[in-house]
Chain A
């Protein structure tokens, strides 16, 4: 039986995990992910790539919303900044992709401070709507800055390579997304255990109390905005690389809502939850497709309603998930884990 153990040194508190078994499992998961392209076909590979990109985006959003407690509906705006920054750096400045992607993140992070500063006084839904407003303004500017962004005609990204992997190749793009996703998860997991991470959690739980304990609210709120948006910007850059063509339409408002849904369905505040949520929501249309195919409804029968019904099923699944598992998928995971770890003593 595994039990908790007292942490004796500061170094151990900072360590990612003190348990070698966790490392082994993480290693096995990564190995499975590396092997995946050899097992699945084109479409599933694209869906898997999308899951990985969404993971990066939601892990980023989780820093702001899950960890610091600042609800953001501005995801689509940050994704758009990252995507366009990356696309323009590659197309117009011919920067290598390895440089363009992180730069796109930093540009997004820096620009996010423009929204972060006015948002310092805001809370809850007021903040959510402000970030929503900011993202609409970003999309509007992109659409009207035609000389720079191509405006309504969009931005086409040439077929470039990232660490020798071609973005136009399904497997190549998958590995690019996998590398970035793994780096992001490790980075954020480390950050959560650092001084900043703990400051953010204190902010989330009660900002006035945190302030009275000497945590600089302005500094840590802005840092959270910066870190979160940088990661989201990187996700936007990956989206641009995957599609190789972006317009303002790519970054619709639904992305912001979807990202929050991923966070909630997965479990707010946990990196593992964010990953599970991203996978669940991206796979949801496929799940709906499968469920309907079971009863013999496919797109081929001629009844056009099947597509609308898929959308309805998606909505219903979200509602059901929130109802039966308020802690998100990570809650199910934790309970299952505890059950088997403590078996046969478990109840």
Chain B
């Protein structure tokens, strides 16, 4: 009985300590991320976590945030929603100030109830998602343009510059991302008064697009938007090359990744892509690459890709907001300061970050690039332009 009393006493005494901001101690700030770190979908996760670590290392090298060192806990979801849910609960247990990596698609969907329940300040930077900002939550922020905008921009560009003869087509994977791509293309076709053919959907992870492209050829298409991630771009280009269909194609930001270009090289076709961050191999990202050389290990440097840029910027924004809070760091203060960021310098990696809009979303401006896989070049065609 005596022991029980002690336990009860300890619990009572322990309560004020619990009321402290999670993930913040006298010497430390802990951030969390749930990302696909294993399996075939780990490419974005490895890149994003390296980017976040870089932002953290940069701050720590300057002496941390008001004397506190920052560190990050990562949970692997393998792109499985139930594991993402469990991982986030684990992070919440361990105590995190904010969540800076949110996997994508269904995984984010499964994390949102926990984020809402515990009001965890969250930066959605790995993969944009409407569900995160509809409705707008005071503790959820997002970095990046909608897929709708990225494809709207490219269709508009193609219609003004390539002026293709035939109708516009879209082939997209059958998940929420693909649906947004489809919506973007359809929006462009409608607004610009362009001819179109019905959208084609394919199973995520599909490798062979011969039948789909044959079908589109029979409809005499003049331009094609591809709502795939990485392997889909060379997969589609291969079939286009086979059928000698030299038409302009639009791709997601993953189209500009070095790996995608390398895989597409044998098919001798240049293509468009759009992104809200600069190509990682470009001159504009030279500073970022140099920073990575200083702060990251060899293994992490190898896993750098465009998701590292978004992870870096998102984490940097969170840390900047935390810094603005001073020594008295609370979640409310973090949210307030994130909401106040209206022109955070992105080092030229994207348009300046501005979260003051009605969607809590920064870097919504899109840059169109032309990828030339044969020369392995990514050439910006426009600046960062808003399509809202």
Contacts and interface: CB of A to CB of B under 8 A. Distances in A.
B260 interface: no
A254 interface: yes
A152 B179 contact: yes
A252 B46 CA distance: 22
B93 A42 contact: yes
Contacts, number: 106
Contacts of B73: 299-300
Contacts of A310: 38, 76
A143 B176 CA distance: 10
Contacts of B39: 311
Interface stretch (A25-33, A43-51, A87-95, A336-344): A43-51
B299 A303 contact: yes
Interface stretch (B84-92, B145-153, B232-240, B321-329): B84-92
Nearest to B299: A303
Nearest to B107: A249
A204 interface: no
A102 interface: no
A252 B117 CA distance: 26
A47 B74 CA distance: 18
B320 to A, nearest CB: 23
B177 to A, nearest CB: 8
Contacts of B71: 300
B81 interface: yes
A151 B42 CA distance: 24
| Size class of the contact patch on chain A | 35 or more
A17 to B, nearest CB: 35
Interface in B81-128: 81-83, 85-86, 89-90, 92-93, 105-107, 109-110, 112-113, 117
B154 interface: no
B313 interface: no
Interface string B15-53: 000000000000000000000011100100010010001
Contact of B81 (A144, A245, A302, A303): A245
Contact of A153 (B76, B86, B179): B179
Interface string A292-304: 0000000110111
A162 interface: no
Contact of B92 (A42, A151, A249, A303): A42
A245 B113 CA distance: 8
B336 interface: no
A270 B37 CA distance: 36
Contacts of A245: 81, 106, 109-110, 112-113
Given A152-B175, A299-B74, A250 B37 contact: no
Contacts of A308: 37-38, 42
A154 interface: yes
A43 B89 CA distance: 5
Contacts of B303: 304
A254 B38 CA distance: 15
Contact of B76 (A50, A143, A307): A307
A43 B112 contact: no
B174 A144 contact: yes
A43 B88 CA distance: 9
B178 interface: yes
B90 A307 contact: no
A47 B93 contact: no
Contacts of A249: 79-81, 105-107, 175
A247 interface: yes
Interface in A139-174: 143-144, 151-154, 156, 168, 170
A311 B79 CA distance: 14
Nearest to B87: A43
A243 B38 contact: no
B109 A43 contact: no
B75 interface: yes
Most buried by A among B78, B81, B105, B107: B81
List 3 tightest A-B contacts by C-beta distance, closest first.
A249-B106, A307-B37, A307-B76
11 contacts: A42-B93, A43-B93, A151-B179, A152-B175, A244-B113, A245-B81, A245-B106, A302-B53, A304-B49, A307-B76, A311-B78
Given A247-B175, A302-B53, A311-B39, 14 more contacts: A42-B93, A50-B86, A152-B178, A153-B131, A168-B117, A242-B85, A243-B85, A244-B113, A247-B109, A249-B105, A250-B81, A300-B72, A302-B300, A304-B49
